[in-house]
Amino acid sequence: MNIENPSVEIPFVDSHCHLDRLSADTHGGDLSVALDAARARGVRQFLAVSVSLDGVPGLASIRDQHADVVISAGVHPLQELESEPGVEEIVACAREHEAVAIGECGLDYHYDSVPRDVQRERFICQLKASTELGLPVIVHTREAKEETLALIREHGDPAVGGVLHCFTEDLDMAREAVRLGFYISLAGIVTFRNAESLREVARRVPLDRMLIETDSPYLAPVPYRGKPNEPAWVVEVAECIARERNISVEEMALQTTANFHRLFRAAAPQVDDEVRQALMNAGFVG
């Protein structure tokens, strides 16, 4: 099934995109055009994710121009900084710019551009900020499975929770993250031919703990692999997972949209009345 012009009854959310990093090759670099292209396919909300605190004011400016955009505030594990923000600075930034989440943050041991001890302390600060603010945390994890889970257990708040975004790890990690109050978000990688183990995750993670995302402009799904990614293509991610689970794309969209609002509670008031009604009609509380 390919949805080109869905009704509002099929509302998608791109739960993780970098709208401040749109490629010049994507709709001529015009963010408004890119967002309109996504809206035309039924994408009704976008979470624009921060990789540094310095970038948060720019994301807030985008949010202020687009009522269906919400933002996060945080520091990516591989972001190189002259000085590290403490918990208070992260909290202040998130409050000032009305972020709905903290991150993306976490651990990435694939590269050595930021020392591991710095990454760990940075992650801890953001987990503490998440707890203090009651805002969910967006976690990036790569080749750091056990330490990521250990720090979440020690410093995270299960009542607040978060999401392992662009998930590429194994089913055991996904299950433990769910047990710790987290959601699992899948991106375009799930559509890749060599991603069968990730499709196994897509089939077996509880549907009420799943999100979908693009991580645009990175990791475009099949059939756009190799091109700069864009929010409109979150539909391809939903279609792939729906096929794996043998459910309709409509069910996939409605469930993941409801999950998004359950996790990112501060984003729920921004959803429009038609989407809220669609969720209610499907038996979800928006």
Region label for 256, one of left (φ > 0), alpha (ψ between -120 and 50) or beta (otherwise): alpha
Retrieve residue 267's tokens: 């984003």
Is 140 known to sit in a ligand binding site?
Answer: yes
Consecutive H or E run containing 184:
strand 182-186
Is 165 known to sit in a ligand binding site?
Answer: yes
Retrieve residue 244's tokens: 């794996």
Alpha helices in 156-205 (DSSP H): 171-179, 196-204
Q: Which amino acid is at 35?
A: L
CA distance 72 to 100: 6
Is 16 known to sit in a ligand binding site?
Answer: yes
CA distance 16 to 46: 7
CA distance 213 to 235: 9
Q: Which amino acid is at 274?
A: E
Region label for 67, one of left (φ > 0), alpha (ψ between -120 and 50) or beta (otherwise): alpha
Is 155 known to sit in a ligand binding site?
Answer: no
CA distance 238 to 227: 19
Is 18 known to sit in a ligand binding site?
Answer: yes
Is 117 known to sit in a ligand binding site?
Answer: no
> Which residues define the annotated binding site for a divalent metal cation?
16, 18, 104, 140, 165, 215
> Which residues define the annotated binding site?
16, 18, 104, 140, 165, 215
